[in-house]
Amino acid sequence: MNQSAFKDSGELHVAIIMDGNGRWATARGLPRTAGHAQGAVAVRQIVEAAPALGIRTLSLYAFSSDNWRRPTAEVRALLHLFARHLRSEAPTLAAHDVRLSVIGARHRLPPSLVAAIAGAERRTAGGRALDLRIAIDYSARDAIVRAAARLAPGEAGRVAFTRRLAEAYGADGAPDVDLVVRTGGERRLSDFLLWECAYAELYFTPRAWPDFDAGDLAAAVADFRGRTRRFGGIAAGSPN
């Protein structure tokens, strides 16, 4: 993808760390799986709202490589939920011109989920209104290590490395992240898109992911658009 085209048109790459599903459920006396199910509803709302807010690429952190440490029953239920929603949502995504891709490792995922991913990616391959990227079994540090190992003799520079990085996590390249949103009250990146987030603006909210809606996303984007991004330089007219 041509990164400058996104920047010149004002279109954004927003990355969201969807945190707080389990705590949302526990606070309501529900099993943690209920929080994940409600979180899937929030995903649908955010995907629908994103294009109108100038978001051209939306990356969602669904399951990190470290999440395998969670209880087996919860992991199994979460992966089943992913597969079910990929199958059910793919026709709607295609109808709304949304292209879905999944980034991350796939060798540890159950075959049913791998098949659901492949089917959804094929079904939505022609989407142009929004690039929706879902990170499953993803680790930015692992991806960086794999990308470095893929560099051929004589390959050097950011362009070559960025291409290898895209290959390392199994998806096409994307522009650098403009805005990272994390729900649930925590304030860290948790190994998500570390290379692409080098100059990203950060936005943290205490709202748990199941409660995060289109209005919250609009508020995050408005906050971002009110900031001055210097990229190491000095803003025009600044005494500094």
Residue 208 lies in a domain: yes
Is residue 9 over pLDDT 50?
Answer: no
Report yes or no on 220 lying in a domain. yes
Q: Are the C-beta atoms of residues 181 and 46 closer than 8 Å to each other?
A: no
Closest CA to 134 of 69, 215, 78: 78
Q: Does 159 reside within a domain?
A: yes
pLDDT in tens, 125-175: 999 999 999 999 999 999 999 999 999 988 888 889 988 998 888 767 789
Per-residue pLDDT tens for 37-80?
A: 999 999 999 999 999 999 999 999 999 999 999 999 999 999 99
pTM equals 0.90
Average pLDDT, the chain: 91
Active site residues: 19, 67
- 10 pLDDT exceeds 90? no
**Which one is predicted more confidently, 43 or 5?**
43
pLDDT at residue 240 in the model: 56
Residue 232 lies in a domain: no
231 within domain boundaries: no
Q: Is residue 29 included in any domain, yes or no?
A: yes
Q: Which domain holds residue 88?
A: 9-225
CATH number assigned to the domain comprising residue 188: 3.40.1180.10
The Cα 46–Cα 107 span in angstroms is 29
Write out the two tokens for 212. 């995060």
Distance CA 155, CA 35 (A): 45
Residue 61's pLDDT is: 98
Could you tell me the strand order of the sheet in which 201-204 lies? 98-103, 130-138, 55-64, 12-17, 179-182, 201-204
Q: How many domains does the chain have?
A: 1
Across the strands, what pairs with 131? 57, 99
**214 close to 189: Cβ distance less than 8 angstroms:** no
Q: What pLDDT, in 10s, does the model give residues 183-195?
A: 999 999 999 999 9
Whether 240 is covered by a domain: the verdict is: no
Average the pLDDT over each of 27-31, 141-145, 199-203, 232-236 and give the range with the smallest value: 232-236
Report if residue 233 sits inside a domain: no
